[in-house]
Structure 1
Amino acid sequence: MHSAPATVAIPGYLAGIWKADPVHSEIAFSVRHLMVSKARGRFTGYDVTIVTSEDPLGSSVAATIDLTSIDTGYEPRDNHLRSADYLEVGKYPTMSYRSTGIRRTDDGWVVDGELTLHGVTRPVPLAVEANGFGPDPFGGQRAGFSATTQINRRDFGIDITVPMDGGGVVVGDKVSISLEIQAVLQK
């Protein structure tokens, strides 16, 4: 049985080099807080480059995220997250991601890659959805991608534990990460 080429599943697919548009993209995270809710935030400074090849399975992604740009909407918390207790931005000002491969799954696409955070590099797969490709009003081309993953902050040496009275911890170990990337085709 012969299956249709992967590009058929991605309307308007174009090969090329793409850069994330920071006005129309977001790199966000959430983590359990006080055992009852989730604290959310985002990084406002980043550089994301996506290379789409003729065969989507040959594509790649590389990202560098400025950890000092963390924004949870509450400056005292942001400053604490930048401190040696958590991200230690004085020593590790960025985190980076580099893809090592792309594969199809029943649900879509997975980008396999390596995340470097807090001086530690570990494999982190991203579940990716290609939202489409098309022209923009400025004579260029845009592509949209959504991606999600979950990491354990302890795997990256961020292992502060603040116990709560009565049990539990102030900040959970699992960090959910979501990316909404609108990328611009580079000339």
Structure 2
Amino acid sequence: MGSTWNLTAADGDLLLHTGTAGRAARTGHRLTIEMTSWTATAEVDDDGHPLSVTLTVDVDSLTVLKGEGGLAPWTGAEPGIARSNALKSLDAKKFPTITYRSTAVQRDGDTYRVDGELTVHGVTRPHPLTVTSADGVFSCETVVTQTDFKIKPFSLMMGTVKVADDVALTISART
């Protein structure tokens, strides 16, 4: 029989962690970004083990939580500026959602290998995930390379400071 889990941002967190790159990378801030509007659907078997998963993220829900590092302090105006720059890089008006659709799920105890397709910036690529489950919380960490999805990482000062191409993603959700 099985059932369906419908999850939203109220059930967990979807966070992005950026780094800096370029000759003057140490002058830039590493950002923690939260996607505050997303939905996930999981088809599960009778024992509550996922058989398939879909995730849809509203790109415009991007919120910059904090900036760390850099030579200058993180000021009150910077989260808004960083948000605006990120939305431009993602071309959010043209590509308002990010999606993930599983193609296969394999279980090994409390760990799941999820094969699937990630669509960002209008580009779809295979993206396998390792998801763990503990006490009703499913969590995953992965890295997304912006240029794989035809995203030009944001840069300043003629490219001497830029957002690193690899962005770490963490997601956790309570069922």
TM-score where L is the length of structure 1: 0.74
Partner of 1:100 in structure 2?
Answer: 103
CA distance in 2, matches of 1:112, 1:127: 9
CA-to-aligned-CA distance 1:51-89 (integer Å, 9 cap, x gap): 112477770100110000000131111111111xx1111
SS of the counterpart of 2:9? coil
Partner of 1:128 in structure 2?
Answer: 131
Contact 1:68 1:93 in 2 (8 A): yes
Q: Could you say what the CA RMSD is over the residues aligned between the two structures, in angstroms?
A: 2.6
Higher relative helix content: 2
Please list every run of 5 or more consecutive structure 1 residues that lacks an aligned counterpart in the other structure: 1-13, 133-142
Match of 1:79 among 63, 69, 84: 84
SS of the counterpart of 1:68? helix
Partner of 2:119 in structure 1?
Answer: 116
Contact 1:15 1:53 in 2 (8 A): yes
2:138 equivalent to 1:145: yes
CA-to-aligned-CA distance 1:165-185 (integer Å, 9 cap, x gap): 8x85421000111101123xx
Contact 1:68 1:82 in 2 (8 A): yes
Contact 1:57 1:102 in 2 (8 A): no
Match of 2:168 among 154, 172, 176: 176
After TM superposition, list the pairs within 5 Å mapping 1:6-17 onto structure 2: 15-17=2-4
The one-letter code sitting in structure 2 at the alignment partner of 1:64 is T
CA distance in 2, matches of 1:148, 1:126: 8
- C-alpha displacement of 1:90: 0.8
The one-letter code sitting in structure 1 at the alignment partner of 2:32 is R
CA distance in 2, matches of 1:55, 1:99: 19
Partner of 1:23 in structure 2?
Answer: 10
State percent identity of aligned pairs: 29
- C-alpha displacement of 1:50: 1.1
Please list every run of 5 or more consecutive structure 2 residues that lacks an aligned counterpart in the other structure: 66-78
Contact 2:13 2:171 in 1 (8 A): yes
Contact 2:153 2:164 in 1 (8 A): no
Partner of 1:38 in structure 2?
Answer: 30
TM-score where L is the length of structure 2: 0.78
CA distance in 1, matches of 2:49, 2:172: 20
- C-alpha displacement of 1:159: 1.9
The one-letter code sitting in structure 1 at the alignment partner of 2:59 is L
- C-alpha displacement of 1:124: 0.9
2:86 equivalent to 1:69: no
- Aligned residue pairs, count: 157
